[in-house]
Amino acid sequence: MDLETGDPYLDENNNTVKVDSACAFGQIIDGLLNCQPGSELLNPFYGFDLNTAIRQSSVPDSEFFIESLITEALDPEKEKLISKIDMIQAWRENNNTMKVYIAVTSIIGETYSAENEISAL
């Protein structure tokens, strides 16, 4: 891996794919949202409390709480590559499933947006 790309990955033919900065930023956000707070020894506040989010996803009217958990995880003070949070919106899909839309911008101007699902099932 060089200094201009993210973590390479394998395509369907097992060939290494070079990752550009936009994809690398997406990898960082994905890693951040799948890292439990306290699991990083050098930065114990880094990560997203997925366990709490899963428990709360089936609680009525918990959309704002889920949004606040994500906002806390994407804090630019904790992840220095995040320049700003453009949008975080959570909405209930059904009784046990919540959908979340995230849009953030990196310090080099790359944007990442994704729609994810949090479910207690």
pTM over 0.85: no
8-to-21, 102, 109 alpha-carbon distances in Å? 11, 24, 21
Q: How many percent of the chain have pLDDT more than 70?
A: 94
Helix (H, G, I), strand (E, B) or coil at 104: strand
Listed residue (39, 76, 35) closest to 53, CA to CA: 35
Q: Rounded CA gap, 26 and 32, in Å?
A: 10
pLDDT in tens, 11-50: 888 888 777 888 889 988 998 998 898 888 888 888 998 8
Question: Measuring CA to CA, which residue among 16, 51, 18 is closest to residue 33?
Answer: 51
Assigned token pair, 68: 């606040």
Looking at CATH, the fold of the domain delimited by 15-119 is given as Nuclear Transport Factor 2; Chain: A, (3.10.450)
Query: Cα(24)–Cα(28) distance, rounded to whole angstroms?
Result: 6
pLDDT score, position 6 = 65
